[in-house]
Chains A and B, each alone.
Chain A
C-alpha cells in the first residue's frame, strides 16, 4: 500500500506547493522525489507480499514489478516533460500533478483484483490523461487530441462498465479469484450473458490498448498530444492495461474459452496487419510510432494467447523492452521539439545524423529496437514472444507476426533513411550560429535509456530473472 500512498501524497504536495509558489523547477523536483520515494518503497513492501489489501487490491510480486516499471517510466516522462515545457509559455506546473494522478491510476490498475478497483484505476488514469493530452491549450492539435480522447474513452468506459455489470449479474461476484472459481467449478451460468459481458470488457480493454478495431483514436492523440505525454500514453497507460489483462484473464482462465481465444486472435492479427500497413503511409513520425504501437500490442497479444508462465514472462519482458524503446523514441521527439511545434514531420529528421550524430544514433538504436534487430532489447523481447507463440504452436499468429514485422521494418527504415540522408539534399545550409542547445535532463535520460536498451539486449538474464520471479506470484488458472 505504501507506494500508492506516497504517489497520492506527492500529488497533493505538488498541488499545494504550486498554490504557495509557482516554480517549475520546484514542482519537478517534488514530483521526482515523490516518484523515487515510491519506487524505493517497493523494496520495503516486498518482504510483506503477497498481501490482499481490502478485497479490491492485491499487492504481490507481480504488482510490485509493474509498479516499479510504471514509476520508472513516469520518472523518465517527468524529466522529458521538464525539458519540453521549459520552451513553452503559460502555466507549466499543473502537468506534474496530472502525471502523478495518472501514475496513481496505473499503479492501482496493476494491483487490482476486483472490478471496482479495475474501474477506479482506469478512470483515475483516463481523466488525468484527457487533461494531459490537451495541456498545451493554446495550440490546436493538443485540444483536438484531448477532446477525441475524452469522448472515445468515456464511451469505452461505459462499455466496460456494462460488461462488468453483465458478468456480475451472471456470477454474482466481482472478484477475479471468485470468478475463476465459479468458471472452473462448473457453477451453472448461462453463456448468453457472460459472453457479451466479457466481450464488452474486451472492448474497454482493447480501447486502452489501442488494438484494432479500437485503435481509431491512437494516431490523432499521439500526434496531437505533447511529446512527453504521448510517451506516457504509449508506455504507462498501455503497460498498466496489459498487466491487468494478464492478471484478469490468466487468473480467471477466461482466455481458455474458445470464443474469447478466437476474438483475441482476430484482434491480434488485425492489429499487426493494420498497424504495420497503415504506418507505411504516414509522413509524421508521431503517427508512424502510433501505428507501430498498435502493431506492437498485436505482437504482445500473440504471446498472451500462448498462455502459461513462459508466455506471461515473454509479455512482461517485452513490455520492459517496449517501455525503454518507446520512451527513448518519444524522448528524441520531445528533445527536438521547440516552443512552437513538435518535431514530428519526417523532414525534421532529414540529415539529423550530420547535425547531431549522437542524438541520431540514439534514435537509430530505438528504431532498430522497435524493428527487433540484435543488440537491442527489442530483439530479445521479440525473440521471447515468438518463442512463446511457437511453444504453443500458434503458427498462424506467428507467421502474421513475422510477415508484418518485415513490413514494419520498411517504415522504420524510411525514418532511418531520412536520418542519414546527406545534408546537401536537405536544401538548407547548416545554421551558422550552431544548433540550439538540448535540455540537459532530457539528454541524460536518453543516454541512460540507450545504455539500458543495449544492456538488456546483450545481457537480458538479470531482467529475465526479475520478470520470472514477478510472474511466478501470479496465480495462473
Chain B
C-alpha cells in the first residue's frame, strides 16, 4: 500500500500546486517540496527497514507490493512491486526531486503552478516505471512521464525549446510504440501457450519464444530502452533536450529519465529474453563502447557548457550499458553504482551550469573565463563534480566505472581497452571546462554572486553522497544484491533451451512452434 501512497502523494501535490499557482508563486514550491520530502523520508524508511533483512527474490517475494485487478477482460492488473533495484532508484528519484524543486526556486518565475504540476507528475511517472511489474502498467507509466517532460522543455526551456521538445517526444514515442508491439507479441504468445491472458511480469518470464521471435521482441524492448538510455545511434535527441530544458528538467532528464532506460534493460530485456539478449550482447557492448568514446569526443568539442555536460551523459551511460550486457556480478555492480553516481554528479553539474547561466546569461565557455576569483566556492564545487564525473578515485563514479571495466575485462579485453580510452578523453573535457570557464584572467570582468545558502544546501549533500558512494558503496551494493542474484540467474543461458531439444519441444505443450521463413 505504501507504494501507492508514494505515487498518490506526488499526483495530489501536483494538482494542488497547479491550483496554488493561481494564488501566488510560493505555495506551489512549498507544496512540492513538502510532498517530495515526505516521499523521500518514506523511501528512506523503507530502505532502512529492508537493508538488513535478507530478501530472497526467488521465493516470489517482493519487499512491498500492491496488486489490484484493473481491466479483467485483458488480464491487466494494477501491480506495483519493489525489490532492491527499484528501491535504490526510488530513493534517487526523490533525492533528485527535492533538488529539482529547490533549484527552480529562483529560476522559474512564469507559470509556477503548472511547472510544479509537471514536475510532480514526471516524478510520479518515473516512480510508476520503477515500480510497475504489470507490463501494461509499465507501458502506461512509460508514456505518462513523457507529456509533462515535454511541457517542461517546451514552456520553460531556452532558445530552441520547441524543436528540442518535439524531437524528444517523437523519439521516445516511436520507440515506445515499438515496445508496445513487443509487449503485445509476448502477451499473445503467452496466451497461446498457457491459455491465460496476463501482462504480469512473473507470468511472462517463463514464456518460450522461438529464437527468431525472441530476438525480434527483445529488439522491440531494447530499442525503447536504448533511445532513453541513450545508446550511440539513438542519442541525437539528448543533447538538444538537455541543453534546452530548464535546469530542473535537465537534472531529471539526466538523473532519472536516462536511468529508466537502464532499469528497463536490467528488469525486462535480459530476464525476459536471456538467450536473445545473450546473442545480442556483443552488438550492444560494441555500441556501448562506441557511445563512450563518441560521447566523450563530442563533449570535448562543445563550446556550450550545458551541451558539453549533456554529451558526457552519452559517454557515462555507455558504461552502464556495457556493464549490463557484460553481465557478471562485478560489471552489474559497476553499472548500478554508475547509474546512481551519474545521476548525482551530472545532476549537480547541470545545476551549477544552470546557476552560471542564471548569473551570466550565457552558457558559452569563451564568454565566461576567469570566474575562479569572483566565485571561488562555485568554481570549487564545479571542480569537485567535474572530477567526480571523470572518475576520480574516492568518488562514486570511479567505483562504477572501475567495477564495470573489471567486469568487462573478463568478457572482452578489446572493448575494455577502448572504454578505458573513453575515460582518458573524459579527463580532457573536464580539464577544458575548468581551464576555459573558470581559470584565466577575468577578461569579461564578471562580478557575480557566489553560491547562496540554498544552493549550498543542495550541493553539500550531493558531494557527501558521492564521497560516501566512492568510499563505502557496500550498503548500496547490499540492497541491490538479492535482486541482482536473481537477475543473473535469469540471464544464464537456459539449460533447457540450449542442451535438450526434446525437453524444449515439450515446453510448447506438445505443439511445435511455427517458424516462419526458416
Contact = CB atoms under 8 A, between A and B. Distances in A.
Q: Do A and B come from one complex?
A: yes
Interface of A: 313, 353-354, 357, 368, 373-375, 379, 383-384, 386-387, 390-391, 398-399, 402-403, 405-406, 409-410, 413, 416-417, 420, 422, 459-461, 464-465, 468
Contact of B73 (A373, A417, A465): A465
Nearest to A371: B173
A409 B71 contact: no
Contacts of A420: 151, 154-155
Given A390-B185, A402-B174, A413-B166, A375 B144 contact: yes
Contacts of B165: 413, 417
A374 B434 CA distance: 44
B170 interface: yes
B429 to A, nearest CB: 33
Interface string B62-104: 0000000011111000000000000000000000000000000
A455 to B, nearest CB: 13
A186 B100 CA distance: 71
Interface string B148-174: 001100110000001001100110011
B177 interface: yes
A398 B140 contact: no
B151 A422 contact: no
A353 B21 CA distance: 14
A383 B155 CA distance: 29
Contact of A461 (B73, B141, B147, B181): B73
Contact of A468 (B73, B146, B169, B181): B73
Contact of A373 (B71, B114, B147): B147
Given A406-B173, A409-B173, A464-B71, A398 B146 contact: no
Interface in B294-341: none
B170 A410 contact: yes
A410 B144 contact: no
B143 interface: yes
Contact of B177 (A353, A384, A402, A460): A402
B224 interface: no
- A contacts with B: majority SS: helix
Given A374-B140, A420-B155, A461 B72 contact: yes
Contacts of A354: 111
Residue of B155, B165, B169, B170 contacting most chain A CB atoms (<10 Å): B169
B477 to A, nearest CB: 34
A383 B170 contact: no
Contacts of A410: 166, 170
Contacts of B140: 374, 379
Given A390-B188, A413-B169, A420-B154, 7 more contacts: A354-B111, A373-B147, A387-B74, A405-B177, A406-B173, A409-B173, A420-B151
A374 B71 contact: no
A374 B73 contact: no
A403 B175 CA distance: 10
B181 A390 contact: yes
Contacts of B187: 387
Q: How large is the interface on B (under 10, 10 to 19, 20 to 34, 35 or more residues)?
A: 20 to 34
A409 B155 contact: no
A373 B162 contact: no
B466 interface: no
Nearest to B162: A417
Interface of B: 70-74, 110-111, 114, 136, 140-141, 143-144, 146-147, 150-151, 154-155, 162, 165-166, 169-170, 173-174, 177-178, 180-181, 184-185, 187-188
B188 A402 contact: no
A179 B174 CA distance: 43
Contacts, number: 74
Given A368-B147, A390-B188, A420-B154, A398 B72 contact: no
B184 A390 contact: yes
B178 A461 contact: no
15 contacts: A354-B111, A368-B147, A373-B146, A384-B74, A386-B181, A403-B174, A406-B170, A406-B173, A409-B170, A413-B165, A416-B150, A417-B162, A422-B155, A461-B70, A468-B73
Contact of B144 (A374, A391, A409, A465): A374
A467 to B, nearest CB: 9
Contacts of A406: 170, 173-174, 177
Contacts of A391: 184, 188
Contacts of A379: 140, 143
Contacts of A357: 114
A320 to B, nearest CB: 14
Nearest to B74: A387
Contact of A409 (B70, B151, B169, B185): B169
A406 B166 CA distance: 11
Contact of A464 (B73, B114, B147, B169): B73
A303 to B, nearest CB: 13
A324 B136 CA distance: 23
B72 to A, nearest CB: 6
Contacts of B154: 416-417, 420
Given A386-B184, A465-B73, A402 B143 contact: no
A468 B111 CA distance: 44
Contact of A387 (B141, B178, B184): B184
A313 B180 CA distance: 19
Contact of B71 (A375, A403, A460): A460
A399 B170 CA distance: 16
A287 B72 CA distance: 38
A422 B110 contact: yes
A420 B162 CA distance: 11
A454 to B, nearest CB: 12
Closest A-B pairs by Cβ, 3 of them: A390-B184, A402-B177, A374-B144
B73 A386 contact: no
Contacts of B71: 460-461, 464
B23 to A, nearest CB: 14
A413 B172 CA distance: 14
A465 B72 CA distance: 9
Nearest to A354: B111
A373 B185 contact: no
Contacts of B146: 373
B130 to A, nearest CB: 16
Contacts of A374: 140-141, 143-144
A353 B154 CA distance: 13
A396 to B, nearest CB: 12
A357 B177 CA distance: 30
A83 B146 CA distance: 35
A153 to B, nearest CB: 36
A194 B136 CA distance: 44
A375 B178 CA distance: 20
A343 to B, nearest CB: 22
Given A420-B155, A460-B71, A464-B71, A383 B180 contact: yes
Nearest to A387: B184
B18 to A, nearest CB: 9
Contacts of A403: 174
Contacts of A405: 177
Nearest to A391: B188
Nearest to A412: B169
A453 to B, nearest CB: 14
A362 B185 CA distance: 34
A163 B43 CA distance: 67
A409 B168 CA distance: 12
A413 B166 CA distance: 7
Contacts of B141: 374
A65 B506 CA distance: 45
B108 to A, nearest CB: 13
A399 B180 CA distance: 11
